[in-house]
Copies of this chain bind each other. A is one copy, B any other.
Amino acid sequence: MISRVLSAELAEHAGQRVTIAGWVHRRRRLKSVSFLIVRDRSGLTQAVAASGDLPPEESVVQVTGTVATGSQAPGGYELVSPEIEVLAQPSAPPPFDLYRPVVSAALPTVLDHAPVALRHPMLRAPLEISAASVAGFREALDRLGFTEIHTPKIVGSATESGANVFGIDYFGRPAYLAQSPQFYKQAMVGVFERVYEVGPVFRAEPHDTVRHLAQYTSLDAELGFVRDHRDVMAVLREAVAGMLESVRRRAPGALDLLGVMLPEVPAEIPAVHFSEAQRLTSSSEPDLSPEQERWLSEWALKEHGSEFLFVTGYPMAKRPFYTHPDPARPGYSNGFDLLFRGLELVTGGQRLHRYDDYVRALAARGEGTQAYEGYLQAFRYGMPPHGGFALGLERWTARLTGAANIRQTTAFPRDLHRLSP
């Protein structure tokens, strides 16, 4: 490896001659002195040179110098008497200045130039928060005895929702990109009892909005031997707390840079039944509107001091066929949503677990079992009461960072119009 210290380690080498390596973030020539700011994965380092030519921005350089205190330097230390070696020269200047505190280019321009735009610390930060979140999700579930699975992204039938699926040519046969690992994670409860998967899911979403992507990363979990959906909610609470703890620990720089205040997760997240949510918002619709979700979030913050709120018991008619009904309240389900800062963040619930219940549920929706044979196998051979949830990583990151557009939370977004880079 190129022998180097990272920008963040500079203070540990005060007075020593060290080598740093990275990209020229900015160069500034004054009358008698020049400054070269070098960006590496840990931060910025300022090198102070005699006036003269300096390599242009985004050059890849190695700079050997003596570590000295510098009151104007990032972190309080800088390199003096630098020797600069250029490892790679850019063949063009960047499409916009990466050294400015904020990128002023319009989002489409930024996205068209993602490989270089994401080098900007502000644009990179959401991805750091995203990576830290996923690590925390896994850690929390690993502690609870979950096993990681990898399931097919190519499926033979478009059964789960029917709409918005991408068709693929599978060796001359029609096939589809999976919209979720729902059926597979349920089947794997029969094998491991508790499973999770972090992977891409695909929605041929025909709407061009700030909240929809054609591919996103779904954080899925499913667990058996639950009493009802409340056990699933308790596990989700642990997962979310683990994600936030991990972000706090792994991405403090990104949080600072974006000015993000992380929410507290109450030991028990407040929950309101759907019928009560309707009463509170004076509604009789069978689903909650975005406006109602915002209102309920504000209410939870006022009433319970919580930025998170569970809404439980959504009407069966609005939930997928595998949803477990509430045994005590006909028409209502053991399904829930988790609202966070005004928006639905997670959908989950208890599922049916008896084969006969599946046959009945499908018949009630006018469907036979044929398209579901592989899925129904799990239930034919004995399945425990179980449930689970799915959390969209990009939506999570957008809510945490306050990103106005979900495209700012993933490196190379895919949407109705965008297929590159």
A170, closest chain B residue (CB): B419
Of A45-53, A223-231, A273-281, the stretch lying at the interface with chain B is A223-231
Which B residues touch A99, using CB under 8 A? none
Given contacts A175-B419, A380-B92, contact A410 B150 (CB under 8 A): yes
Answer yes or no: A13 CB below 8 A from chain B CBs.
Answer: no
Which B residues touch A153, using CB under 8 A? 153, 200, 202, 215
Q: Judging by beta carbons under 8 Å apart, are B384 and A87 in contact?
A: yes
Which B residues touch A135, using CB under 8 A? 138, 142, 148
Answer yes or no: A368 CB below 8 A from chain B CBs.
Answer: no
Which B residues touch A151, using CB under 8 A? 411-412
Q: Judging by beta carbons under 8 Å apart, are A215 and B147 in contact?
A: no
| Per-position binary interface string of chain A over residues 133-170, scored 1 when its CB falls under 8 Å from any chain B CB and 0 otherwise | 01100100010010111111111110000000011111
Q: Judging by beta carbons under 8 Å apart, are A149 and B175 in contact?
A: no
Which B residues touch A355, using CB under 8 A? 90-91
A46 → B minimal CB distance (Å): 19
**Interchain CB contact (< 8 A) of A168 among B90, B149, B168, B421:** B168
Given contacts A119-B191, A124-B192, A154-B202, contact A383 B1 (CB under 8 A): no
Query: What CA separation (Å) do A87 and B118 show in the bound complex?
Result: 52
Q: Judging by beta carbons under 8 Å apart, are B200 and A115 in contact?
A: no
Q: Judging by beta carbons under 8 Å apart, are B414 and A91 in contact?
A: no
Answer yes or no: A404 CB below 8 A from chain B CBs.
Answer: no
Q: Judging by beta carbons under 8 Å apart, are B419 and A2 in contact?
A: no
Please give the residue numbers on chain A whose beta carbons come within 8 Å of chain B beta carbons, in ascending order.
1-2, 4, 21, 23-24, 40-41, 58-60, 87-92, 94, 113-116, 118-119, 124, 127-128, 130-131, 134-135, 138, 142, 145, 147-157, 166-171, 173, 175, 177, 184, 187-188, 190-194, 199-200, 202, 204, 206, 214-215, 217, 225-227, 231, 234, 353-356, 373-375, 377-385, 393, 410-412, 414, 416, 419-421
